[in-house]
Amino acid sequence: MSDSTASDSAFSMLLASSVHDIKNSLGMLLDTVDQVVRETPISSDSQRRHFATLQGEAARINNDLLYLLGIYRLEQGQLPLNIREVFVADFFEELKAQNQLLFDIRQLQCEIDCDVDARAYFDPGLISGVINNVLVNAARYAKQRVRLHALTDRGLTIEIEDDGAGFPQNMLDNVGNTQRSIDFNSGSSSLGLYFADRVAQLHRRDDQCGRIALRNLPAGGGCFTLWLP
Protein backbone atom coordinates (compact mmCIF):
# COMPACT_ATOMS: atom_id res chain seq x y z
CA MET A 1 0.00 0.00 0.00
CA SER A 2 1.42 3.40 -0.96
CA ASP A 3 1.86 6.18 1.58
CA SER A 4 -0.84 8.16 -0.24
CA THR A 5 -3.32 5.26 -0.12
CA ALA A 6 -2.61 4.62 3.56
CA SER A 7 -3.06 8.31 4.32
CA ASP A 8 -6.39 8.44 2.45
CA SER A 9 -7.61 5.35 4.29
CA ALA A 10 -6.61 6.76 7.69
CA PHE A 11 -8.34 10.05 6.91
CA SER A 12 -11.52 8.25 5.82
CA MET A 13 -11.59 6.26 9.06
CA LEU A 14 -10.95 9.40 11.12
CA LEU A 15 -13.70 11.25 9.27
CA ALA A 16 -16.17 8.39 9.76
CA SER A 17 -15.32 8.19 13.48
CA SER A 18 -15.72 11.96 13.88
CA VAL A 19 -19.06 11.96 12.09
CA HIS A 20 -20.23 9.14 14.35
CA ASP A 21 -19.29 11.12 17.48
CA ILE A 22 -20.99 14.26 16.16
CA LYS A 23 -24.11 12.24 15.33
CA ASN A 24 -24.28 10.90 18.89
CA SER A 25 -23.96 14.39 20.36
CA LEU A 26 -26.57 15.74 17.95
CA GLY A 27 -28.90 12.90 18.91
CA MET A 28 -28.73 14.06 22.54
CA LEU A 29 -29.37 17.63 21.40
CA LEU A 30 -32.40 16.55 19.36
CA ASP A 31 -33.85 14.69 22.36
CA THR A 32 -33.42 17.83 24.48
CA VAL A 33 -35.00 20.04 21.81
CA ASP A 34 -38.00 17.69 21.59
CA GLN A 35 -38.41 17.76 25.36
CA VAL A 36 -38.20 21.56 25.52
CA VAL A 37 -40.76 21.94 22.72
CA ARG A 38 -43.18 19.52 24.40
CA GLU A 39 -42.87 21.25 27.78
CA THR A 40 -43.12 24.84 26.48
CA PRO A 41 -46.58 26.13 25.50
CA ILE A 42 -46.53 27.88 22.13
CA SER A 43 -47.81 31.40 22.71
CA SER A 44 -47.20 33.08 19.33
CA ASP A 45 -46.68 32.41 15.62
CA SER A 46 -43.13 33.69 15.98
CA GLN A 47 -42.36 31.15 18.69
CA ARG A 48 -43.91 28.40 16.56
CA ARG A 49 -41.67 29.32 13.62
CA HIS A 50 -38.58 29.34 15.84
CA PHE A 51 -39.42 25.92 17.26
CA ALA A 52 -40.13 24.54 13.79
CA THR A 53 -36.82 25.85 12.46
CA LEU A 54 -34.87 24.54 15.45
CA GLN A 55 -36.31 21.06 15.30
CA GLY A 56 -36.48 20.76 11.52
CA GLU A 57 -32.92 21.94 10.86
CA ALA A 58 -31.48 19.81 13.67
CA ALA A 59 -33.25 16.79 12.16
CA ARG A 60 -31.85 17.61 8.71
CA ILE A 61 -28.30 17.82 10.08
CA ASN A 62 -28.77 14.51 11.87
CA ASN A 63 -30.04 12.90 8.67
CA ASP A 64 -27.10 14.23 6.65
CA LEU A 65 -24.67 12.76 9.19
CA LEU A 66 -26.46 9.42 8.96
CA TYR A 67 -26.14 9.54 5.17
CA LEU A 68 -22.43 10.34 5.33
CA LEU A 69 -21.89 7.33 7.56
CA GLY A 70 -24.12 5.20 5.35
CA ILE A 71 -22.32 6.19 2.17
CA TYR A 72 -18.93 5.53 3.80
CA ARG A 73 -20.08 2.05 4.84
CA LEU A 74 -21.49 1.42 1.37
CA GLU A 75 -18.15 2.29 -0.20
CA GLN A 76 -16.37 0.03 2.31
CA GLY A 77 -18.83 -2.83 1.76
CA GLN A 78 -19.86 -2.60 5.42
CA LEU A 79 -23.55 -1.75 5.08
CA PRO A 80 -25.49 -5.03 5.34
CA LEU A 81 -28.89 -5.40 3.71
CA ASN A 82 -31.54 -6.84 6.04
CA ILE A 83 -34.48 -7.73 3.81
CA ARG A 84 -37.62 -8.88 5.60
CA GLU A 85 -41.39 -8.82 5.24
CA VAL A 86 -42.85 -5.49 6.33
CA PHE A 87 -46.47 -4.44 6.84
CA VAL A 88 -46.42 -1.15 4.96
CA ALA A 89 -49.28 0.58 6.81
CA ASP A 90 -47.63 -0.12 10.18
CA PHE A 91 -44.31 1.08 8.75
CA PHE A 92 -45.96 4.35 7.67
CA GLU A 93 -47.59 4.82 11.07
CA GLU A 94 -44.20 4.49 12.79
CA LEU A 95 -42.65 7.07 10.46
CA LYS A 96 -45.55 9.43 11.06
CA ALA A 97 -45.20 9.04 14.83
CA GLN A 98 -41.46 9.78 14.66
CA ASN A 99 -42.18 13.07 12.94
CA GLN A 100 -45.48 13.98 14.63
CA LEU A 101 -43.97 16.72 16.78
CA LEU A 102 -42.58 18.45 13.69
CA PHE A 103 -45.97 18.14 11.93
CA ASP A 104 -47.72 19.55 14.99
CA ILE A 105 -45.37 22.53 15.26
CA ARG A 106 -45.84 23.35 11.59
CA GLN A 107 -49.60 22.68 11.86
CA LEU A 108 -49.51 20.09 9.08
CA GLN A 109 -51.74 17.11 8.45
CA CYS A 110 -49.94 13.88 7.59
CA GLU A 111 -52.23 11.61 5.59
CA ILE A 112 -51.59 7.89 5.09
CA ASP A 113 -53.09 6.20 2.02
CA CYS A 114 -52.25 2.51 2.08
CA ASP A 115 -54.05 -0.84 2.16
CA VAL A 116 -53.95 -2.04 5.77
CA ASP A 117 -52.94 -5.53 4.57
CA ALA A 118 -50.22 -4.36 2.17
CA ARG A 119 -46.91 -6.18 2.65
CA ALA A 120 -43.55 -5.89 0.94
CA TYR A 121 -39.97 -7.11 1.33
CA PHE A 122 -37.27 -4.53 2.00
CA ASP A 123 -34.75 -3.34 4.59
CA PRO A 124 -36.92 -1.29 6.99
CA GLY A 125 -33.91 0.36 8.68
CA LEU A 126 -32.43 1.75 5.46
CA ILE A 127 -35.78 2.67 3.91
CA SER A 128 -36.96 4.44 7.07
CA GLY A 129 -33.80 6.58 6.88
CA VAL A 130 -34.67 7.54 3.32
CA ILE A 131 -38.34 8.27 4.05
CA ASN A 132 -37.58 10.23 7.24
CA ASN A 133 -35.40 12.63 5.28
CA VAL A 134 -38.13 13.15 2.68
CA LEU A 135 -40.74 13.76 5.39
CA VAL A 136 -38.56 16.34 7.15
CA ASN A 137 -38.00 18.18 3.86
CA ALA A 138 -41.68 17.91 2.93
CA ALA A 139 -42.65 19.37 6.32
CA ARG A 140 -40.24 22.23 5.70
CA TYR A 141 -42.00 23.33 2.50
CA ALA A 142 -45.58 22.06 2.80
CA LYS A 143 -48.40 24.51 3.41
CA GLN A 144 -51.07 22.31 4.96
CA ARG A 145 -50.46 18.62 4.36
CA VAL A 146 -48.06 15.78 3.61
CA ARG A 147 -49.30 12.52 2.13
CA LEU A 148 -47.79 9.03 2.34
CA HIS A 149 -49.09 6.68 -0.34
CA ALA A 150 -48.16 3.09 -1.23
CA LEU A 151 -49.03 0.55 -3.91
CA THR A 152 -47.87 -3.07 -3.89
CA ASP A 153 -49.23 -4.45 -7.15
CA ARG A 154 -45.88 -4.36 -9.02
CA GLY A 155 -43.21 -4.33 -6.38
CA LEU A 156 -43.56 -1.55 -3.83
CA THR A 157 -44.21 2.04 -4.87
CA ILE A 158 -43.98 4.65 -2.11
CA GLU A 159 -45.00 8.23 -2.86
CA ILE A 160 -44.59 11.21 -0.54
CA GLU A 161 -46.50 14.31 -1.63
CA ASP A 162 -46.63 17.82 -0.23
CA ASP A 163 -48.61 20.92 -1.18
CA GLY A 164 -45.66 23.31 -1.26
CA ALA A 165 -44.05 25.10 -4.18
CA GLY A 166 -42.65 21.93 -5.79
CA PHE A 167 -39.10 20.90 -6.59
CA PRO A 168 -36.70 23.32 -8.31
CA GLN A 169 -35.70 22.36 -11.83
CA ASN A 170 -32.08 21.57 -10.92
CA MET A 171 -33.28 18.88 -8.49
CA LEU A 172 -35.60 17.38 -11.10
CA ASP A 173 -32.74 17.32 -13.61
CA ASN A 174 -30.19 15.70 -11.29
CA VAL A 175 -32.04 12.70 -9.87
CA GLY A 176 -29.82 9.68 -10.50
CA ASN A 177 -26.80 11.84 -11.31
CA THR A 178 -23.81 10.29 -9.50
CA GLN A 179 -21.64 13.37 -10.13
CA ARG A 180 -23.41 15.65 -7.70
CA SER A 181 -22.17 19.14 -7.03
CA ILE A 182 -22.86 21.60 -4.24
CA ASP A 183 -25.30 24.43 -4.91
CA PHE A 184 -23.58 27.33 -3.16
CA ASN A 185 -26.73 29.47 -3.40
CA SER A 186 -28.83 27.01 -1.41
CA GLY A 187 -26.05 25.11 0.36
CA SER A 188 -27.54 21.86 -0.94
CA SER A 189 -25.37 18.90 -1.93
CA SER A 190 -28.41 16.63 -2.59
CA LEU A 191 -26.84 14.17 -0.16
CA GLY A 192 -30.23 12.77 0.85
CA LEU A 193 -31.19 12.07 -2.76
CA TYR A 194 -27.83 10.44 -3.45
CA PHE A 195 -28.21 8.17 -0.41
CA ALA A 196 -31.83 7.37 -1.35
CA ASP A 197 -30.73 6.41 -4.86
CA ARG A 198 -27.94 4.15 -3.57
CA VAL A 199 -30.23 2.46 -1.02
CA ALA A 200 -32.91 1.92 -3.67
CA GLN A 201 -30.38 0.26 -5.97
CA LEU A 202 -29.34 -2.14 -3.21
CA HIS A 203 -32.82 -3.65 -3.39
CA ARG A 204 -32.74 -6.11 -6.30
CA ARG A 205 -34.86 -8.89 -7.69
CA ASP A 206 -33.74 -10.82 -10.75
CA ASP A 207 -32.52 -8.16 -13.22
CA GLN A 208 -34.42 -5.28 -11.59
CA CYS A 209 -33.23 -2.86 -8.94
CA GLY A 210 -34.94 -0.08 -7.02
CA ARG A 211 -35.02 3.54 -8.13
CA ILE A 212 -36.21 6.98 -7.08
CA ALA A 213 -37.92 9.79 -8.96
CA LEU A 214 -39.12 13.34 -8.38
CA ARG A 215 -41.94 15.20 -10.06
CA ASN A 216 -44.08 18.28 -9.51
CA LEU A 217 -47.82 17.84 -9.18
CA PRO A 218 -50.25 19.61 -11.55
CA ALA A 219 -52.15 21.12 -8.61
CA GLY A 220 -48.93 22.30 -6.95
CA GLY A 221 -46.46 20.65 -4.65
CA GLY A 222 -43.88 17.93 -5.15
CA CYS A 223 -43.88 14.14 -5.15
CA PHE A 224 -40.97 11.89 -4.22
CA THR A 225 -41.32 8.30 -5.51
CA LEU A 226 -39.40 5.25 -4.32
CA TRP A 227 -39.89 2.01 -6.25
CA LEU A 228 -38.59 -1.32 -4.97
CA PRO A 229 -38.85 -4.58 -6.97
pLDDT in tens, 32-58: 877 887 788 777 878 877 887 777 777
pLDDT digits (tens, 9 = 90+) for 168-191: 988 888 776 544 444 434 444 478
The whole-model pTM stands at 0.77
Q: Which of 80, 106, 128 is the last residue of a domain?
A: 80
Q: Where a domain ends, among 80, 108, 135?
A: 80
Residues 23 and 106 both lie in one domain:
no
Beta pairing class for 119-122 and 84-87 = antiparallel
Average of per-residue pLDDT values in the chain: 83
The range of the structural domain enclosing residue 53 comes to: 1-80
Domain ends where: 80, 114, 132? 80
179 and 203 assigned to the same domain = yes
Q: What are phi and psi of 222, to 5 degrees?
A: -120, 160
Rounded Cα gap, residues 156 and 162, in angstroms: 20
DSSP notation for 145-207: EEEEEEE-SSSEEEEEEE-SS---HHHHHHTT-SS---BTTTTB--HHHHHHHHHHHH-EETT
Residues 57 and 101 in one domain: no
